[in-house]
Amino acid sequence: MTIYQGMTVTMELLFRISNWLYRKGVPVLPRLLYIFNRVVFSIVLPPSVTLGRNVSFSYSGLGIVVHARCCIGNGVTISQHVTLGGRSGLHDVPVVEDDVLIGAGAKILGPVRIGRGASIGANSVVLHDVPPFATVVGIPGKVIKTGSKAHSAVPPAPTFTS
């Protein structure tokens, strides 16, 4: 296991523990783990977030901000500096279905559902629902591709093993 992988595993493990403690109603400790992740890994991932399995956080979550009520499905890839958050005046927050790819710096804001297998381009600002397997880019985000496909548009993070 590389240092990068170890950092990501540690960050996610701390989140999983904080999430479990939060759901059991344990006070204080979930918040402390959340703060540790925020300080050490620069990720804002509150204990109340619903996070699926096999979610991949680029660069151990660097700069990622997730609203406390967000739901993130299985197999989602979240690149660095992504925000999943609220929009002023609107209560609901993003739901990200399975196998979505979210490019670096993308912002997904408000009551938005990102359909399964969709790709969100780097630095996009998504304000509306995205159909399954669609590709969205730009500000505001617009669908540029539709249909089913396996995405591979985010290169793996460097591992520095050599």
Ligand X SMILES: CC(C)(COP(=O)(O)OP(=O)(O)OC[C@H]1O[C@@H](n2cnc3c(N)ncnc32)[C@H](O)[C@@H]1OP(=O)(O)O)[C@@H](O)C(=O)NCCC(=O)NCCS
| Contact footprint for ligand X (CB under 6 A) | 58, 79, 103-104, 119, 121-124, 135, 137-138, 144-145, 151, 153-155
Residue 55 C-beta: closest distance to ligand X, Å = 16
Sign of the torsion formed by the C-alpha atoms of 103, 105, 124 and 109: positive
DSSP type of residue 159: -
d(CA 55, CA 64): 13
Closer to ligand X by Cβ: residue 18 or 135: 135
Q: How many CA atoms lie within 13 A of 127 on its CB side?
A: 8
DSSP type of residue 102: E
Closer to ligand X by Cβ: residue 32 or 140: 140
Q: How far is CA 129 from the centre of its chain?
A: 16
Residue 26 C-beta: closest distance to ligand X, Å = 35
Q: How far is CA 17 from the centre of its chain?
A: 18
Closer to ligand X by Cβ: residue 126 or 137: 137
Residue 45 C-beta: closest distance to ligand X, Å = 19
Residue 77 C-beta: closest distance to ligand X, Å = 9
Closer to ligand X by Cβ: residue 51 or 137: 137
